[in-house]
Structure 1
């Protein structure tokens, strides 16, 4: 099982990856970050996306949905943002956040690779 740093490096190998973070959605803190640019602050993006996860979890609770989030996709003009909550007991309350350049990414393959990383990560 890869540790967090190895998992983040693996995620950065996904075609089109701009940056990736492992985030605690209870606090909004990024526990680990790889990539990013001077114009794309992953710490800020990770913290902001905790609200997305919390909102979806609240909506599911209000609807009494007994399901779990596989991933959340936000499609922007030039980017994809993938949010994947960790399902392992040790990853409870954490999610992987991956930003991709839309023109260079294969969304289906990126989702598959991020799922593989999420399933193997050791937190």
Structure 2
């Protein structure tokens, strides 16, 4: 479920629901493997865009979802800024 959104993506609810399944699958895999690490973020690269899923440390069932145009983006800076947003987020 999308709590907030900025930008013009009309399909954000669909994308968020689909990415929720990606996060659940990765968390389940880590559990199955007995991993004690936690996920910081998940990067999905498409032909024309980057998607960053940043899990919230205190609430791992929630995540920040950022999608951006590959040709206009700085991936390293975007990951840094998403982590910064997470640190400032109050739930």
Instruction: Tell whether the structures are fold-level matches, with TM greater than 0.5.
Output: yes
Pairing 1:56–2:26 present:
yes
Pairing 1:115–2:63 present:
no
CA distance in structure 1 between the partners assigned to 2:9 and 2:21 by the alignment: 22
Aligned residue number for residue 55 of structure 2: 85
Aligned residue number for residue 97 of structure 1: 65
The residue matched to 1:84 in structure 2 has which SS?
Answer: strand
Q: Normalized against structure 2, the TM-score is what?
A: 0.94
Deviations 1:13-58 (A, max 9, x none): xxxxxxxxxxxxxxxx1122221334xx111101110000000001
Q: Which has the higher contact order (CA 8 A, sep 6+)?
A: 1
* Structure 2, gaps ≥5 residues long: none
- CA RMSD, Structure 1 to Structure 2 (Å): 1.1
Once superposed, which parts of structure 1, at least 4 consecutive aligned residues long, lie more than 6 Å away? none
CA distance in structure 2 between the partners assigned to 1:50 and 1:84 by the alignment: 11
CA distance in structure 2 between the partners assigned to 1:43 and 1:33 by the alignment: 10
* Structure 1, gaps ≥5 residues long: 1-28
Pairing 1:76–2:36 present:
no
Q: Normalized against structure 1, the TM-score is what?
A: 0.70
CA distance in structure 2 between the partners assigned to 1:44 and 1:78 by the alignment: 19
